[in-house]
Structures are given as C-alpha cells and as structure tokens.
Structure 1
Amino acid sequence: MPLAPEDSVTRLGGVGPALAARLEKLGVRTVQDLVLLLPARYEDRTRVVPIGSLQPGQRAVVEGEILLAEVVRRRRPMLVVAFGDATGMLTLRFFHFTARQQQSLARGARLRCFGEARAGQRGLEMVHPEYQRAEPEEEPEAPALTPVYPGTEGLTQARLRQLVRLAWRALGQTLPELLPPGALAGRGLPSLDEALRLLHQPPPDEDVAALESGHHPARQRLALEELLAHQLAMRALRYRARRQAAWPLPGGPLVDRFIAALPFALTAAQQRVIAEVRRDLAAREPMMRLVQGDVGSGKTVVAAAAALQAVASGAQAAIMAPTELLAEQHHGNFRGWLEPLGVGVAWLSGSQPAAERRAALARIAAGEAAVVVGTHALFQDGVEFARLALAVIDEQHRFGVHQRLALTDKGTSAGRRPHQLIMTATPIPRTLAMATYADLDTSVIDELPPGRGEVRTVAMPESRRAEVIARIREACAAGRQAYWVCPLVEESDQLQAQAAEDTATLLAETLPELTVGLVHGRMKPADKERVMRAFKAGEIHLLVATTVIEVGVDVPRASLMIIENAERMGLAQLHQLRGRVGRGSADSTCLLLYKPPLSPTATTRLAAMRETNDGFRIARTDLELRGPGEVLGVRQTGLLSFKAADLARDQALMPLVRELADALLQRHPDAVAALTTRWIGVATRYGQV
C-alpha cells in the first residue's frame, strides 16, 4: 500500500533511527521531503569512456574487467584493484572496505565505475569510485543525467539516490497537485509531477546550466509552489492577528509634549511613520508593524513615541535589543527623553547585580516602571509586568522568532495580546519583504535627519597601512575620534586576520600621543560598557574593536572608520559598521582595508560600498550576492528556509504568487493547509503573534 506524503521516512524499508537522524540534517523528515530534496548539480554518466583516453582530473564512467584484486597492508589495509578494458589499465583504491565488498571485487568480475581519474605512481587511478556490476544480459535503463544531492556526513550519493527512488515508489510515483485548475495555463511551467520527474532524472540533452542555476521551468515550477506556501503561511499569520484582541491605546497629549521637547525637528519620514504607529496603537487589534530605517534615520524616536502612547493609556512598554551595548544606549536615550515627562524607565540585563535586578523586577511588577528596556533578560522567568501592552523589538533579525513570542507572551492576559513594533536598520528589498514579512505592515523611514555630514568610502590595499595611520593621527589632532575594526579576536592561521588585541597594542605604540581603547566580544559586559562610555565621552581617541560595535553605538565625534580585512565581511555588515560614523555634522570617511587579490564577489562588495550610501541599494546587491537567509540573519530562526526557491533569483514569480494566494484563499481553502504542510511542515508556532 502506498505511503502518505506526511509519513515519516522511518516507514521506508531500511531507514532506522540512525539514518533518519542523518536525513534530518538535510531537512528530510517525511517521505515527501525526500522527493522534494532537489539535486544541487548533475553529472553526465550516460557515456562510457575508454580507459585509454582518460585524462587526469576527468570525472567519467568506465567499464571493464577486474584483472587483479589484493589487500595491501601498510599503515592501514587498502584494497587495490587492477581494472582494464581493451584500451588501457586503471587502478581502483579503497581505503575503507568490507569483507563482502572484497569478495564482490574478485578477478574476472565486470564493473561499471564512476569517479575522478588521478595521476598515481603506476598510472591513472580512481579512489573510492562508485561502481556496480555490469551484466551483459541486463536491459539498459533509459539514459539520464545523474543527480548529485546536498550531502551530509554518513550518507553517500548512491544511498541518497536509492532513498529518493524508494520514496518515489512508496508514494505511488506521484505527489498530489495542489494548485488550482488552470493556474499554470500559458505560463510555460510543467505540472508538479512532470517537474519532479525531470529534476530527479533529466534526459542527457537537457539544459544542465538552467537546471543547476534554478532557471529551468521545472525548478521554477517548484519554486513557485514553495513561495506560494510561504506567502499563505504569512497571510494566515496576519489573519489570526486581525482576529485577536489587543488593548486599544488612544494615548493623549504626552506624545505631543515629547515631540515638542525634542532638541531637533522630526523629519517628514519620522512624522509619517509615527502617525502610522499611533493609528495602529489606537485600534483594538494587535499592531504588527515593521519599521525599516537606514542607519541613523531616527527609529529610536519612533519607538519612544510609541512607548509614550502606551504609557499615556495606562499601560507598559518593553523595548528589547540584541546586545547590552545597544540596550544600554536605548536606556540612556529613553531616560533622557521620558523621565523629565514623569515616566519611570527600568533596565534589565543578564549582567545586572542581583540587588539591582530585584529592585527593577519589583518596579516592573508594580507598574512603577512604565517603560522597560533590556536584552533577552526581558522574557526570562521571574519577569512579571503589571500591564504590558506594547513590545518593541529592535534589530528583529538578530532574535529567534520564539524569542519574540516569549516577550509578547509576557503581556498576554484576558484574551488580549500586546501590540508589536519591530525595527530593523537592515534595509530589506521590497520583494524580500513581501515574501518574508507578509504578516506585517511595513513603514519605511527613507530620510536622514538634516545636518548630517557626508560619509565617503575608500577601498585601499593593506600595503598602504602607513597612510591610514597618518589619517588617524590627523583626524584625532583635529578633535575627532576613530574606529579600527578587526574581524577576529585571536590569531587564526586559516583566516590570516590581524587580531584585535595585537592591533590595539601596535597602534598604541605607533600613536603614543593618542589614547587607544579595545572592545571585543570576549570581554566582560561591564568592561565593554566602561570602554564604550569612555569613547563616547571623548576620553579615548581611537577605539579598536571587533564587530560588536556593528549595531547601535552612537558617537557623534567619530568621523573615521577603518575596517580591516574588509574583503572577508558581508555587504550588510560593512554598511552597518560604516553607519557608526557620520552621526555628527562633520564629514566622515570609511576606509576599507583589503588584502589582494580580491575575489569577484569581494570586488563587487567593495565597489557597492564605494558607489552608494543608500541602504536599500546595498541590500539589493547583498541579496543578489548572498541570498535572503544571510541578508535577514534568519538561518538561526527557523523562519526562512527554502528548498526550491531563491528570493534573489525568483523575484519575478512574486506577482503570480500573490495572485495564486488570493485565488486559493477565496476558492480553494482546502488546499492551503496541504501546501503549507508540504513545504514548511507542521512546526509553525512562529505563525502566532
């Protein structure tokens, strides 16, 4: 009897707990998952190559007879097989072999082998080739390219191919079609069944480049369905949010008093976004709004206005940041802005002294602290809010989805959930936002405050380090400050990156007239904060740091940023680091030190940094270079993991995805759950709000 698509792989013959655990590393848990495990590339094994024509480095199929097989005992036993055809000889070497394998590789046996030919001591050889008995009376199978699947330790390609075939047979050679009838008419895309058959067994004349790049219609057919499943999951999330209740927060004059007291005028973009947030907070359904704003665009003011609207309505607001440095900066800003208005602000972090933490917890539970700023400590056991009605999550992509839920759970009571304001300084291309944050309303702060200095970006080879040091001396003599960013804390032969600690020592020796500070991720939080406070106060001229300063540190007098080994960093990270300068009115410079020669990708990254300061242009380039998981930082969250789709490659499918999502929800709602289960699985608690 055929198996159901959702049946566990352990229902397949020969798949026990150990093999199932290996398959799970590939994201394969069900029989259907095996069929949806798509090849990463293909090999043409349809032609048998004469042994005499083989060249070193060539991967090929050869067929011949075993002339001699023996176990050679040196440091470890090795099975050596002399193998030949009418045109030449080849040695097959097996460093790992069983007694049964040794028996099967006996003199006179005919084999068909596939492997890479290498130059050996006695001519060409293949090490651990794939092989099978070549039986003359066997009827040849229809020729097809051989799929090469994503691998994991303990699973050979031959075993993976066997398991995919086994799963395909167990499902009755097909998967049910879930798209509406006629959905693909005129689109040039095959049915699901046709697409899967072609992807797993393409004919030899198929366009391999299109298959491997993902542009083949068969791959596009699967990408379309997977993007549709994610879109439907996000729509369901949004629908559930709209059906839930929240505390309406009408606010009052407190927000206007706050804005009027600011020592600067809000930009038009900030005013627009604050108005959108105020409207959402006054509603009886939970706000779920993503605020995107480039580095330095003023998102924190928007968060403060939202928090005050909650406070003016008799509720509490929590602001969660991913690092203690960023959380502490928010705490300082919120205290400076809100305490003069009579609003109590509390601070919670993992490194707090016990007595200070107990006092903060008591104030929060009693409602005396209307605004609470902190790190992950906000959603830990023992934290009780009097009436949490707004959760603000900064740098959302640095938190796991369940961490966001854990914070909102703190405010769920009487059938009501807190409003959510999610902020990110990582600009997200529109296509990516549509696919990934379809559950959220989106606001964009697309304007920087006036009076900011220009930031110029220059890329320089590390051989010009002396010039860079002279620039630091000159800038600091003029009353400015500088960052020197190193990617690693300790020496690493593999990465050959200059260690931050050694760099700080060398720079202090080279620039004895300057005070040099050091911050890295292995320091105690209190020590990091002490150094950062001294830098912000101007007591440190030059701060040597790892990428812990990537997010949130605001030092207006810092006008020079040196990023060492810039070629090793991602584009989004480089842009975030650059955002640490240009916070004041003076023009600033970001120097990207690199070690030549540059790879094509590194060349593109550095060119993009030189050409623009626009975070959205940077994000589009980063999406094309690295893919959505890296741009959003969600590979750890479990939210965005695609099997067939690639958001950078498949952007053109999104209009059709939205069209099909509308059609399914209106006319074929029974297919929605099946689609999301097929591509995303059942573990979708992130679909809550």
Structure 2
Amino acid sequence: MSSEPAFDPPPGPRPVPYADLRLELSRLVGAPSAKPVAKALDIHTVGQMLHQFPRRYIPRGELTQLNLLDLDDYATILARVVDQNTRKMQTRKGYITDVYITDNSGAGTTMTISFFNGFKAQKELLPGVLALFSGKVSSYREKLVLTNPEYDMLPDHELTEHEAELQAARPIPVYPATAKFPSWKTRLVIEALLPTLDLTRIPDPVPAAIARRERLMPLAEAYEQIHQPSSIESWPRARKRFRFQEALALQTSLAQKRHEASQQDATGRPRITGGLLDAFDAQLPYTLTAGQADIGGLISDEIAGAHPMHRLLQGEVGSGKTVIALRAMLQVIDAGGQAAFLAPTEVLAAQHLHSIQALLGSLGEGRLLGGPVATQVTLLTGSMPTAARKRSLLAAVSGEAGIVIGTHALLSDNVHFADLGLIVVDEQHRFGVEQRDALRSKALKPPHLLVMTATPIPRTVAMTVFGDLEVSELTELPAGRAPIKTHLAPLAERPQWFNRVWERSREEIDRGHQVYVVCPKIGDGDEQLFEGGSALGGPGEGGTLFGTDDGSVLFGPDDSYAESAGGDGDTRPMAGVLDVVQMLRGLPVLADKRIEPLHGRLDSALKQGTMAAFAAGEIDVLVSTTVIEVGVDVHNATLMVIMDADRFGMSQLHQLRGRVGRGGHDGTCLLVTNLEPGHPSRKRLEAVAATTDGFVLAREDLELRREGDILGAKQSGGSSGLRMLSVLRDEDLIDRAREDATAIVAEDPLLERHPALKLEIEMYLTEQNEAFLERG
C-alpha cells in the first residue's frame, strides 16, 4: 500500500445498521477517518458521503493511456512499473527516485514519476508492480511527468483463481480528488461505511410510479453498484438512477420556488385603453415581429395578474427585447406604477436612457412638456453630480419618473419609489440575487420581474440556472437587420492579412461608416488584465458572461480554455487597448482618422463622452475592451475587428459582433488570431464564423466545457454544481424530471407526502448549490 495510513473502521462491534442519512459520518467510520474527509472534501454526514459518487471507472484490465493525459490535469493513472532508478540530488542533500511506468500500449509509451527522498516508493514500486498514481501532470524537458504523487498498489498476483476472476471483473471507481486527498482515500472510507448501513431502509426519494416508468434500479442496489460495481456493465444503470434522482431533486426545488412566487400577492397592472402604451404603439414606425407580439401579449397578461411575473426573455442581439420591455413598462405606468430598469454598467445605462427616450419621443418628456399622456424617464448612476442625483432621487420617490434607469446605484438605501410595479434587469448574469432582492424590497408589494439577456443560453442550462423563471425566446430579427458576415483573419499562415484588416477598416470609413476594434486587455503592461479586474473577469464591465458577485463564473467565456487568460503556461502577449490605439494612429492607412480608446478604467464622464462622440459619428475607430459587449447601439458602425479573438468564448464573440450592422447596413466581423491551424481555439473561431445562430454556438460552446464549470464549480473534490447530470446529454431526462416536479409541487407544495424527496433536496442543496439556484 502507499505511505498514507489506510482508513479502517473503528475497533469493536459494528454499529447497528442505520438508515438516517443525516447522521454524522464519524459515528459510523470513526473520527480518524471522518476528520480528513471533512477537512479535504467538506463532507460531514453519511448522506453526503454516500453521494460522493465516482467520476469514472477504470477497468482493471485496461491501463491508462499515457499519451492522452493533459498537462496540468490532476489525474488518477492506472499503470505498471517497468523500471526504477535512484540518484543523488546535485544541488541539495537527498535522493530522487525515478519510477518509470507504462500503459502496455505496445507503442513504447512511458512516463517518469519522481519521488524526492521517496524511500518507501523505492522499496514498493518495483518493476512489475501495478498501481494507481494520483497527482498533477506537469512537464519536464517536453515530456509529461508526475512529481511526488500519491499512489496505491493494486493486488494482481498471489490470488486464487476465483478471487482473480472476481477482481478482474470489478472496475476501479475513481472519485473526485484534491491534492492531499486522492481518489482511493474516498474509496476506503466508502468501503468502511457501506457495511455499517442497511441500505434497504433508506427511503426512495423518487415516487414509486415514476421509478417504475423510468425503470430505475432499486435504490439500495444502486448505492452498492455505484460505489462497488460488480462488473463493468452494472454501474451505468446505477448512474442512470442517480442522474434522474438528482434531476428530480433539483427541479422540485426550482418548482417550489416558482410555486412560492406564484402565491405571492402583486398589484395587477392591466392594460389601460387610451394610455401611454396605446400612444406609443400608434407612433411606432414599424410593425412588431410575430415573436415580439406573442411574447408581449404573454407578458401583458402576466403583469395584469394578481401574482408577480417572473420571466426570462432571451434573444439575439437586435431581436427587439428593449421594445418588449418598454411596452411592459408603459403598461405598468398606465396602471399607476413605476418601472426600474437595472443595467450592469454606466455606459449601458446611459445607452438605454438614450434609446428609450428616442423610442418614446415626446411621450418621455414628462406630463408638462409631453402632454397629459406622457411620463418622465430619469437616470441614476453612482458618478452623477450631486445636484443631478438629487433630482433623480426626487423624481423616483415622488412618482414623477415613470421609468428610472440605473446601475447598482438603484440598490442604495436612499433610493425610494412611489409605487414600484416592474423591475427590468438587463443581462441578469451580471447581478446576484441579493441585488435583485434589494430592488424588490423597495416595492409596496412584490413587483413583477422581467429579466433580459442577449447571451444565448441552451435550453437545459436556462432550465437549470434560471429554473425559477419562466423562459421566453425571441428567435427572429426585426425587418432591416441583415445577418453579420464573419471572417477569420489567420495571421499565423497569412501575416499579410494584418495590413489588409486596416485597409478594410479604411474602406469602411471612406464609405461614411465607423469601426469597432475590440481587445482582450486594457494595457499598461498588465498581460492578463481583462475588463473586470482579472484574467477570468468578474462582476464588472465585461470579462465573463456569467460573472457572479463572488467572482465565480457560471458560464463565462474564458475559464475553461487554456489559452484564454494566458493560463496553463500560455505566455503569448495579448492585444491591449492602449497599445493598439498608438499602433493604429501610426499607420499611414489610418493617419488622418479619429481613433479613441474606451475601457472600464476611464473616468465615468470620459467613458460616456467617448461613447456619445462615437454615436454622433465624431470618432472613426473606437478601440475598446468588452465594455461595448452588450447594449451599446451605434447604427453607423458596420465593421468590428476583434484582436486575439481566441481569447474570448464563442458566446461572447457572437454577442460582440452583434454591435455592428444595426442601422440597415451590412455588418462585418473580422476575427484576428495568431493561433496555428488545428489548435482547439481555432476550431472555436471557425465555428463562430460558420453560423450566426447564437443558440447553435452556445450549445457547441457548452460541449467544449467541463460540466462542473457551467454552474461555477470545478470538479476538484467536494460538492459540485452538478453531481451526475449533464445538461446536454440528459436534456430529455431533465425535461421529464421538470414535468414530474411541477406536478408533485402542484399537489404537495411543502412535500409533506414526499418526505424522502424533501430530505434529498435538503442534502442536495449545499450552500454552494443554493447559491447557484439563487442566481436565477
């Protein structure tokens, strides 16, 4: 065995078989075994331990293919020792033992494992030994190596024929691991725990009729086969059972949230004939699309109801979400209420103010200037001058302002409304539940809620991450919006295209249009400074698509890719706004053109002034970070150049390119990259160039990610956002579980007749999982 002590059950008689999953783990396996588990995996109860399921299984006859290991992965490897060598260290006292392992592939593939002063390894890891090795895969002289890994020797000799047959049939479970708690330590705790339990006494959280319909393995058998499979064929059925069980627990919890919200009292805001909404519709210069009309009618009916609306509206950039939101706000104003419009940045808040004022015309000039059928639209941000801020605060509390548009400043304690009836949240993923609730608390009764996002979200992700909201999708673009042409500019094999990119920019400017240039960092020598303060972004202006208040990522563009943020040994320089501005100003082809920077570290007034100047046509080329990712609307901008496009995620690239071609002119996006052909991120860029369907791209993007990253949890041990489910693979299963959960909660909201399901939800909803559920 390894140098680490085994986890043995406590001495003395076995405890009485116990079925209560809330029992402290130490009661059954002893404190010496339970304490390391609590420290390393944050697991404290029997139920948590039982639900620490293996990530995968290794057939005992199949060694790990060493050539498929990924650099910097924390890997568990089954391999055979072929040789060993111990040598003296040159720079300090002690010895290094190099153990050479093979996967028996016949291709001569070997790997070196080094132990510093590894006297035990020197004695145990002799040629011919079969063992599990667990550690971080690193590189030395361009070869993959492991340094000081944990290891566990496996018996594959000196067994009776019958024992050998049984041993060979049983696959090896591989559990989530940490640097100090390898997979087999979890396995040893499980082996000590299972004999102490009467698994047949554990109540099944899945109702019997549903379990029969799904043909689920009996619960007790499933626990046995998930942890100690008798054959390579048995664990898939066990995993199917726990996938459905997890989906049912998750969807039931979300169904309870929807049911609870539906029972709250809200002030109904029915449509008023002859009011602002009618006047707005009469002056609208175009006809609503069928999708806008259908969803608008649905929202109108929900706002008129006595219970608060909770709806997520997602649609492509330019699909007309703002018009739908504005019509909803006008309906609320007609019925005596106010609307708050929450935007993630000051630039976007100002942009929405201008857009809504332009749409309303005289209807947005207040009752004195606009006539009896009018309202006031006001802005409230943190950087406003004191006098202007006081005017906005007074307009909100007096009810004079029907629409208050703002940033996080709307959440301040000194912001009050006369009668807040509707909250519109733009790009919900930029806000946490505390912020949304802070706005809700400013209403006399629970207000209606409309959440909007232009970030395409695959349906099953929306059902999981935003599962407490009803989801509507706008899939058609308004008339006059041409599809955006996207082209790859691969500088690795075609360096001459660099000059052509700027010649193309000049051509567009000469036609009277404007150009965006987007960079992944600001500059100032910060090689990894993305907008939002870190390489992976954060809750600031850009950087991630689903940044949360605590800095974690639900569905960000950069976190799952080695090249994005210069991680995993990637030291390639990134294009920065400040450097690119200087470079472009020095190019003869753009010598006489107006080129200006825009990024989140600029003074707020300068940011807004720069954006206003670009919108007014006073700037030819705007060199920006992702601060322009959402909401910024300049109809004369027809070309976007994205520098180091491989640094961005697919969904973010799709959203960025939606900033061009919005004024009836054709839009073009150039994805500039220095990556060589065949690189995984080149394939992502080629996928973006091949389709303009954001939902197709979102799904492809998701397929490239580790499952745990979707909900902001890395698969590194402990509780993860999803234990067994895959939001892509298990789409149909999640659908069925959602229908079952909705039906169960409709009949039994408090789950009084489903105590086992209630317990399963309590165990499933760790603090981490509750956090992601609340992010909806």
Superposition TM-score, scaled by structure 2 size: 0.74
In the alignment, structure 1 residue 31 sits paired with structure 2 residue 51: no
**What residue in structure 2 maps to residue 563 of structure 1?**
642
How many angstroms does 1:504 deviate by? Answer: 1.8
The 2-side partners of 1:71 and 1:176 are apart by 59
Aligned to 1:491: 527
> Which position in structure 2 is the counterpart of 1:226?
246
In structure 2, the CA distance between the partners of 1:519 and 1:61, relative to structure 1 (3 Å rule), is same
CA 82–364 in structure 1, closer or farther in 2 if over 3 Å, else same = closer
Question: What is the rounded CA distance, in whole Å, between the counterparts of 1:619 and 1:169 in structure 2?
Answer: 45
1:282 aligns with one of 304, 311, 316: 304
Q: Secondary structure at the match of 2:210?
A: coil
1:445 to 441, 457, 474: 474
Query: SS state of the match for residue 389, structure 1?
Result: strand
Match of 2:733 in 1: 653
Structure 1 residue 466 and structure 2 residue 499: aligned? yes
| Deviation by residue 1:200-251 (Cα, 9 ceiling, x = unmatched) | 33456459xxx7xxxx333232221111112211211121112110011124
**Structure 1 SS opposite 2:404:** strand
- Using the TM superposition, name which of 572-581 and 670-679 deviates more: 670-679
Q: Deviations over 1:388-412 (max 9, x none)?
A: 121111112222233222221222x
Matched, 1:235 2:250: no
> Which range moved further: 334-343 or 3-12?
3-12
Question: In the TM superposition, what are the counterparts of 1:162-181 in structure 2 within 5 Å?
Answer: 162-168=188-194, 171-172=197-198, 175-181=202-208
- Letter of the 2:755 partner, please give it: D
Given that residues 9 and 20 in structure 1 are in contact (C-alpha distance below 8 angstroms), is that contact kept between their aligned partners in structure 2? no
Residue 763 (structure 2) aligns with: 678
Candidates 432, 437, 449, aligned match of 1:420:
449
In structure 2, the CA distance between the partners of 1:22 and 1:366, relative to structure 1 (3 Å rule), is: farther
What is the match of residue 87 of structure 1? none
**Which one-letter code corresponds to 1:488 in the other structure?**
K
Alpha-carbon distance between aligned partners in 1 of 2:124 and 2:315, rounded to the nearest angstrom: 69
Q: Is contact 1:226–1:644 with CA below 8 Å preserved after alignment?
A: yes
**1:75 matched to which residue of 2?**
92
Is 2:508 aligned against 1:478?
A: no
Larger mean CA deviation between 289-298 and 470-479 belongs to 289-298
Change in Cα spacing, 1:577 to 1:343, as seen in structure 2 (3 Å) is: same
Contact 1:391 1:421 in 2 (8 A): yes
Note if 1:573 corresponds to 2:690: no
RMSD: 4.2
Matched, 1:154 2:180: yes
Cα gap change, 1:578/1:125 in structure 2, threshold over 3 Å: closer, same or farther? closer
Selected match of 2:689 from 590, 610, 615: 610
User: Aligned partners of 1:538 and 1:406: how far apart in 2?
Assistant: 38
TM-score (norm 1): 0.83
Whether the 8 Å CA contact 2:204–2:756 is kept in 1: the answer is no
Contact 1:115 1:127 in 2 (8 A): no
Is residue 401 of structure 1 aligned with residue 437 of structure 2?
A: no
SS of corresponding position for 2:468? coil
Q: Distance in 1 between matches of 2:508 and 2:354?
A: 28
Shift in alpha-carbon separation, 1:317–1:29, aligned structure 2, 3 A: farther
Residue range with higher mean Cα deviation, 390-399 or 421-430: 421-430
Alignment of 1:348-359 (within 5 A): 348-359=380-391
* Gaps in structure 2 of 5+ consecutive residues: 1-14, 65-74, 102-110, 529-569
Higher deviation after alignment, 474-483 or 419-428: 419-428
330, 342, 345: which is aligned to 2:377?
345
How many residues are aligned here? 655
Aligned 1:81-230 pairs, distance under 5 A: 94-95=115-116, 113-115=131-133, 127-128=148-149, 130-131=151-152, 143=167, 144-168=170-194, 171-172=197-198, 175-185=202-212, 187=214, 189-203=216-230, 205-206=232-233, 216-230=236-250
Partner amino acid for 1:249? R
SS at match of 1:544: strand
* Residue 475 to residue 408, structure 1, CA distance change in 2 (3 Å): same
1:523 alignment counterpart: 602
Give the stretch that moved more between structures: 393-402 or 471-480.
393-402
Which secondary structure state, in structure 2, belongs to the residue aligned with residue 530 of structure 1? Answer: helix
- Quickly say closer, same or farther: Cα 1:315–1:176, change in 2 above 3 A: same
What is the alpha-carbon distance in structure 1 between the residues aligned to residue 269 and residue 146 of structure 2?
A: 75
1:4 maps to 2:4: no
Is the 2:711–2:721 Cα contact (8 Å) retained in structure 1?
no
The structure 2 residue matched to 1:625, chosen from 699, 704, 713, is 704
- 1:294, distance to aligned residue in structure 2 (A): 1.1
Q: Is the 8 A contact 2:513 2:636 kept in 1?
A: yes
Q: 1:494 to 1:166 in 2, by over 3 A?
A: farther
The 3 A distance-change label for structure 1 pair 18 and 440 is same
Contact 1:113 1:129 in 2 (8 A): no
Q: Unaligned regions of 5+ residues in structure 1, if any?
A: 50-56, 85-89
Structure 1 contact 95–128 (Cα < 8 Å) conserved: no
Alignment partner, residue 670 of structure 2: 591
CA contact (8 A) 1:554 1:580 kept: yes
Shift of 1:9: 5.5
Deviation at 1:104, TM superposition (A): 11
- In structure 2, relative to structure 1, the CA distance for the partners of 1:471 and 1:69 (3 Å cut) is closer
